Amino acid sequence: ELCALSSVCLCVCRWSLNGTLINLSTDSRRRLSGGNLVIRSLDRAQDGGIYQCTAFNPQGAILSRRASLQFAYLNLKTQTRSAVSVREGQGVVLLCGTPSYAGDLSFAWVFNEYPYFVQQDNRRFVSQETGNLYIAKVEPSDVGNYTCVVVNRITKGKVLSSPTPLVLRTDGVMGEYEPKIEVHFSDMVPAAKGSVVTLECFALGNPVPEITWRRANGVPFPSKVKMKNSNVVLEIPSFQQEDAGGYECVAENKMGKNTVQGRLSFHAKPQWVQTMRDSALSVEERLFWECKTSGKPKPSYSWLKNGELLAAEDRIQIENGALTIGSVNLSDAGMYQCVAENKHGIIYFSAELVVLASPPDFSRSPLRALLKAKTGSTVTMECRPQAFPTAISMWRKGNEPVIVLLSFRITLLPDGTLRITNVTKMDGGNYACLARNQFGVASTTGRLLVTDPTQITQGPVDMEIIVGESIVLPCQISCDPALDVSFSWAFNGQLLNKLDQHYEHVGGSISGDLMIRNIQLKHAGKYVCVVDTDVESLSAVAILIVKGPPGAPDGVTVEEITDSTAQLSWRPGQDNGSPITSYIIQAKTAFTVGWQAVNTVPEVIDGNTLTATVVDLNAWVEYEFRVLARNSVGVGEPSPASLKTRTEDAVPDTTPTDVGGGGGSKSELVITWEPVPEDLQNGDGFGYIIAFRPLGEVNWTHAVTSIPSQSRYVYRNESILPFSPFSVKVGAYNTKGQGPFSPVAIVFSAENGETVDRIMSSAQKLTFSVIYSVFNGFFFSASPERVLGYEVVYWEDDTKPETMGKVRVSANQNKVNISGLREYTQYFLTVSAFNTAGTGPLSPTINVTTKKSPPGQPPLNVEWNLIGSKLTVHWEPVISLEMESDVTGYQVSASQQCKPQKINTITTNLTSVELTLPADDDYIIQIRALSDGGEGMPTEPINIHKLSKNYFFNLMNLRNGYFKLSLHFTILLFLLYQINAIFLIIRDLFCIKKTY
């Protein structure tokens, strides 16, 4: 780092030692490496001292900071030491000696022999300031030889003193005495900013004294302060100004105490607070640089120019850290350094002064070749050439050799700018600015064009519009043809995004109309059309009000609810540009499909009403309510739903419906009804009361069921005659009471089941036939007795009940078709008759196997030939797969193209067929294979356009037969027929009947 800037500024570096320049050309041990000084074979006598680098380049020279090179060493005289004799309980100090050294040292003591070191505690302490060993109170275990070990922290070198024997005296034990401080800090201890300050305090005494610390001003120690070695060492890391002041060490035992005091003084090397910057000044300008530093003691300042001390003179003033040069000249250019120094350090800061001197130059700031301005405006034309010193400016207009005359409208500003107010067309023309200083003259020219003002002939106007509509906001102008015009639109202070699909700029060169498509509520606001030309900017404003359906009401609350009413209140939402005219209330329950409109009081809720009563509610049902607002635009979004609220319970007011019954077993009366829906039960404890009596009697028999979902009740009594009529009615009840009964219905008791037995005993033998591969038909006869119908049960395997199926038919049928059967599978089946008494005995079981599926492949390679009305069709035979039925023949179907419902079908066991087709239409042909399993897949439809064959056939006859036409004429006729055929095909597609 000593001269690192040389690697980036292409400098030349020179080094000095203790102020004397080092001659590298004659020094074999020293050399430069990229500006750095490299020294080989260091010698303490020749190389120790203060080094400094001076860097030179064409702009000048600067000095680096100073660097000190020192050599660390350590020497300690060793001589035999006499024994130290003390009493037990007495304190003692063992001296280490005074080494000669350079570098930081550390001290330790060996007890008797290496490596047994003395362990420090509250009784023993090794001072890192003096190196001495202090024992506050000697004990018998302390007797032995003590050797001081000194280590140089830099070189890691180590020296040992001669052993010092410690022995106990035999003339008695030392009594208790007060502390005596042997290790303490100076009255004034200098401490550098940011350093680690260590204070030592140790006392001899019996008993062993305790050490405590405090500040003289009584302020507690900050958390960063640390106590070490039983409080003997006080350590203050990162020493700052606030840490300076008085410190006190107190040593105390039961015999008394001892105190020492001292002060820590704060000092700091200089640090920059304010510096200067590189400056480029014109000759004769004034230079002022100032640098400021912090430091203690206060630093002194000096200034260097190109590495040499700068002295004050007439033009140059130096005061503390300020440098002033009243009128710079070319000789003042160079590198300057501000130097700040106190006894703790020295710092440098450098800056370059460039002195400029040149004639006027307009290459960077010429006049605009064409300057446009509207009449009546103010024009400024700047004349600012680059010139050192500043040039004097003059103006000319056109080819006149005279300077532009100044007037109340035309003024020349101090910086050379020409200002013309209230411009007229007479002011237009060519202008020239001439600039001069002591080094030369230069000029620049430009043209002033005065145009007519631009006007907005049709701007946007305030409008009201409904959501979803589209509008055009006009913005049209009249302007001078010489101007370039651009249009832009702003919405609520922000430029419109051209990518927004709602906006589109329309119009020509003098129109900036804005189209807004499918307007939404968010498009309401302030629209500004901005017209920019070369000379001015105009704008026109319009307010767009967008009306839409109201916003959702808020805060729907159910304030009071009964068994059939609920009182609601709500807060209005946004009216979105159109006042709210009315409100609609909707409700939802667990029994409704979605939201339903409800009846209210008042029946019509106007826009100023925020409460209403909902009526005609069902009792004991949980309701949710929501409110919708309506205005002149439409109905808005619904409000959030209210909390679920249950109406009060009430006596049932709905009777069961569809009361009827009949059937059942012998001596039974079966009564059925349609259960009352849960939302109409009106409360808990809901059930049914069934009342019945023989037709014509007076007294009713009652029965009760407490199951709300029950829909059937069976009354058993041996006295009931078969098929006897009863009057029946059903009512409902709940915890609030009994509701009304249903209308009376007539229900017959059960029939006698023996009739079914007689029917089945005379049943004819069942027959079975296959309708298709997956349809089986069952045929059976009926008995003249009373039978409601027949039941066919079928299954695949007796061991798999899940394969069982069941089909019922009415009594007037003796056949049933069963679909969904699997092909080529054996089925078992039985038949039984049934009436209201139940199902009779089963017929004997029969079994049958379904057919295989029909062929899945249509006939392939179909070829056809049409001559006149005779059509011949050929195809390849279809080969059935293993699980498909064998082919028994083929079916050919032909339908007219415009009468697809009229189909002619021909069956054949060959692979060809001949058809006679009338000549009045075109036909569609399909072919499919037939099998026991049904019809196979048909071919794709084949379109037969008879004319496409006839005309070619006839044309060839004309060519080869009767008329012997030329080849060219034949081809022409052929093309005409082709065109006619295409037309006929198109005609047939639309079934248009025309005569050609």
pLDDT tens across 717-738, in order? 988 888 889 999 999 999 999 9
Which of 476-480, 594-598, 808-812, 886-890 shows the lowest per-residue confidence on average (mean pLDDT)? 808-812
Three state DSSP letters for 502-563: CEEEECCCCECEEEECCCCHHHCEEEEEEEECCCCEEEEEEEEEEECCCCCCEEEEEEEECC
Lowest mean pLDDT among 147-151, 447-451, 649-653, 953-957: 953-957
Tokens coding 392: 């004097």
Which residue is listed with tokens 């080819």?
399
Whether 827 and 777 have beta carbons less than 8 Å apart is answered as no
Q: Are 176 and 137 in contact (CB under 8 A)?
A: no
Measured CA distances, 727 to 252, 270, 396, 674, 739 (Å): 120, 121, 126, 17, 19
C-alpha to C-alpha distance for 218 and 309, rounded to whole angstroms = 49
Cβ atoms of 691 and 699 closer than 8 Å:
no
Residue 303 pLDDT more than 70?
yes
Q: How confident is the model at residue 836 (pLDDT cuts 50, 70, 90)?
A: low
Kindly report which listed range (7-16, 384-393, 428-437, 822-831) carries the lowest average pLDDT score: 7-16
Residue 768 pLDDT exceeds 50: no
Contact between 619 and 648 under an 8 Å Cβ cutoff? The reply is yes
Query: In terms of DSSP bridges, do strands 256-274 and 188-192 run parallel, antiparallel, or are they unpaired?
Result: parallel
Residues 512 and 655: their CA atoms lie apart, in Å, by: 73
User: How many whole angstroms separate alpha carbon 415 and alpha carbon 392?
Assistant: 9
- Res. 687: pLDDT tops 90: yes
Separation of alpha carbons 454 and 474, rounded Å: 16
What backbone torsions phi and psi does residue 553 show, to the nearest 5 degrees?
Answer: -60, 165
pLDDT in tens, 111-125: 998 888 999 999 999
Structure tokens at 661: 């019954």
pLDDT tens digits, residue range 315-363? Answer: 899 998 899 998 899 899 999 999 999 988 999 999 999 999 999 999 9
- CA separation for the pair 341, 284 (Å, rounded): 32
Pairing outcome for strands 210-215 and 245-253: antiparallel
d(CA 68, CA 84): 43
Does 769 score more than 50 pLDDT?
no
Instruction: Write the single-letter amino acid at 98.
Output: T
Largest CA distance in the chain: 172
Distances (CA, A) of 538 to 223, 485, 905: 68, 11, 84
Entry field: residues in the chain: 996
pLDDT (average), residues 832-847: 75
Cα–Cα dist 581/572, whole Å: 11
Give me the mean pLDDT over the 473-483 stretch.
90
**574: which 2 tokens?**
């946004």
**609 DSSP 8-state letter:** -
Any idea which of 460-469, 486-495, 678-687, 896-905 has the lowest mean pLDDT? Answer: 896-905
SS3 of 595, please? coil
Task: Give the Cα separation of 823 and 772 in Å (integer).
Answer: 9
Residue with tokens 């400098």: 11
**Angle value at C-alpha 65, between 60 and 69, nearest 5 degrees:** 130
Geometric angle at alpha carbon 223, from 222 and 228, rounded to 5°: 105
118 touches 204 (CB < 8 A): no
Closest CA to 148 of 174, 172, 166, 168: 166
Mean pLDDT of 407-432: 88
Question: Could you give the CA distance from residue 949 to residue 941 in angstroms, rounded to a whole number?
Answer: 18
Residue 416 and residue 379 in contact, taking contact as beta carbons nearer than 8 Å:
no
Query: What average pLDDT does range 520-538 have in this prediction?
Result: 92
The answer to whether the CB of 809 falls within 8 A of the CB of 781 is no
Return the percentage of the chain with pLDDT > 70, whole number.
88
How big is the CA angle at 904 (ends 900 and 910), to the nearest 5 degrees? Answer: 130
Beta-strand (E) ranges in 819-960? 826-835, 838-839, 846-849, 863-867, 870-874, 887-896, 899-908, 912-916, 923-931, 934-935, 942-944
358's tokens: 């040149």
Confidence (pLDDT) at 684: 92
Question: CA torsion sign, 750 to 751 to 752 to 758?
Answer: negative
User: Among positive and negative, which fits the CA dihedral 794, 795, 801, 805?
Assistant: negative
Strand partners of residue 884: 853
pLDDT at 472 exceeding the cut of 90: yes
Q: In angstroms, rounded to a whole number, what is the distance separating the alpha carbons of residues 984 and 977? A: 10
Which 8-state DSSP code applies to residue 677?
P
Nearest to 928 by CA among 917, 940, 916: 940
Of the ranges 523-537, 891-905, 917-931, which one carries the lowest mean pLDDT score? 891-905
3-state secondary structure of 227: strand
Check if the beta carbon of residue 207 is closer than 8 Å to that of residue 283: no
In one-letter notation, the amino acid at residue 70 is Q
Q: Name the H helices within 729-873.
A: 754-761
Q: How far apart are CA 201 and CA 187, in angstroms?
A: 13
Q: Are 353 and 287 in contact (CB under 8 A)?
A: yes
> Residues 255-260: what's their mean pLDDT?
93
Express each pLDDT in 420-442 by its tens digit: 999 999 888 999 999 998 889 99
Taking the C-alpha atoms of residue 577 and residue 919, their distance in angstroms, rounded to an integer, is: 72
Tally of CA atoms within 13 A in the half-sphere of 198 that contains its CB: 9
Predicted confidence (pLDDT) at residue 785 exceeds the cutoff of 70:
no
pLDDT of residue 772: 28
Residue type, 226: K
Radius of gyration of the CA atoms of the chain, in A: 61
The bridge status of strand 687-694 relative to strand 668-674 is unpaired
Q: What is the pLDDT of residue 197?
A: 94
Reading the block at residue 290, the tokens are: 């100032």
Taking the C-alpha atoms of residue 430 and residue 447, their distance in angstroms, rounded to an integer, is 4
- Contact, 488 vs 497, CB < 8 A? no
Query: Is the separation of the CB atoms in 168 and 140 below 8 Å?
Result: yes
Report in angstroms the alpha-carbon separations of 961 from 101, 220, 633, 845, 965: 140, 137, 82, 76, 9
Is the link from the previous residue into 722 a cis peptide, with omega within 30 of 0? no
Where does 600-753 have alpha helices with state H?
A: none
Is-contact 715 749, C-beta < 8 A?
no
Per residue in 979-988, pLDDT (tens digit) is: 766 665 565 5
pLDDT tens-digit map of 922-937: 788 889 988 888 888 8
Q: What angle do CA 226, 228, 232 make, to 5 degrees?
A: 115
Task: List % helix, strand, coil for the chain (3-state, nearest 5).
Answer: 10, 50, 45
Tokens at 886, concatenated: 């064998």
Phi and psi at residue 228, to the nearest 5°: -130, 165
Report pLDDT for 846. Answer: 83
pLDDT of residue 899: 65
- Could you tell me which residue, 607 or 399, shows the higher pLDDT? 607
Q: At 441, give phi and psi (nearest 5°).
A: -130, 150
Angle made by CA atoms 325, 330, 334, in degrees to the nearest 5: 75
Question: The tokens 């051209």 sit on which residue?
Answer: 498
